[in-house]
A = this chain, B = another copy of it.
Amino acid sequence: MARTFADISISLDGFAAGPSPSLEDPLGVGGMQLHEWAFRLAAWRKPHGLEGGEAGPEAEVVERTQAATGAFVMGRKMFSNGDGPWEDDPKADGWWGDDPPFHGPVFIVTHHAREPVEKLGGTTFTFVTDGVAAAVEQARAAAGGKDVQVSGGASVVQQALELGLLDELQLHIAPVLLGAGTPLFPSGTPGRLEIVETIASTYATYVRYRVA
């Protein structure tokens, strides 16, 4: 049965992005460190159009997740960098270039309506203005029976968790302290998860949780 899951990297002190995100530093100060575990993997580099890279214990998860995912949901800031209308956004075409690594339908949660954008390699960006639940619903319909990945940022993953939309949460816990930034779990509701898979690596600890 297809699942809806989030896959996100966090620091050991719980931040999904560093402080002061900017055009130059969209993941915030130090935030790129959270993704080093991925950058070095051939399994991550290839779909991002990059050569080389290593194998590693997390490679199998990356490949398995890519193969299982039929559609993506992400927040506006993960697609681009503006908060206002698209005309005011210096990165209105997105961070992801002409041949994005998604190769499937991506639903962007935004306050500002926009016509869908088609990119190379099968990636389409569809802009959803009525919230995370609506975006997940559209993604499920578009996923062709495959999984829906809520890719980030922290705010969209939080909302998906709070709305009970997630079956699973895949965390990559980087051995990094950011000290400040966007927490994945802001102070709030207590809860329990269930550990279903753990993969040890010196770059980041991968833990897959079932959401109760």
* Chain A interface residues toward B at CB < 8 A: 12-14, 29-30, 33, 171, 173, 175-180, 183-185, 187-196, 198-205, 207, 209
Task: Report 20 cross-chain contacts, Cβ distance below 8 Å, ordered by A residue.
Answer: A13-B14, A13-B183, A13-B187, A14-B14, A29-B190, A33-B192, A175-B194, A175-B195, A175-B207, A176-B190, A176-B192, A179-B185, A179-B187, A179-B190, A179-B191, A180-B190, A194-B202, A198-B198, A198-B205, A205-B205
**Pairwise interchain contact A187-B180, C-beta atoms closer than 8 A:** yes
**Pairwise interchain contact B205-A177, C-beta atoms closer than 8 A:** no
**Pairwise interchain contact B209-A207, C-beta atoms closer than 8 A:** no
Interface of A is mostly: loop
The distance from the CB of A194 to the nearest CB of chain B, in whole angstroms, is: 6
Residue of B nearest to A189 (CB): B179
The distance from the CB of A40 to the nearest CB of chain B, in whole angstroms, is: 14
- What would 11 more interface pairs be, CB under 8 Å, given A29-B190, A177-B192? A13-B184, A13-B187, A14-B14, A30-B190, A175-B192, A175-B193, A176-B191, A177-B185, A180-B187, A195-B205, A198-B201
List the B side residues contacting A33 at CB < 8 Å.
Answer: 192
The distance from the CB of A8 to the nearest CB of chain B, in whole angstroms, is: 12
The distance from the CB of A180 to the nearest CB of chain B, in whole angstroms, is: 5
Most buried by B among A12, A178, A209: A12
The distance from the CB of A176 to the nearest CB of chain B, in whole angstroms, is: 5
Residue of B nearest to A169 (CB): B12
List the B side residues contacting A190 at CB < 8 Å.
Answer: 29-30, 176-180
Alpha-carbon gap, A190 to B176, bound state (A):
8
The distance from the CB of A38 to the nearest CB of chain B, in whole angstroms, is: 15
List the B side residues contacting A175 at CB < 8 Å.
Answer: 192-195, 207, 209
Q: Pick the contact of A195 from B177, B183, B202 — CB < 8 Å?
A: B202
List the B side residues contacting A188 at CB < 8 Å.
Answer: 179-180
Alpha-carbon gap, A13 to B209, bound state (A):
13
List the B side residues contacting A201 at CB < 8 Å.
Answer: 195, 198
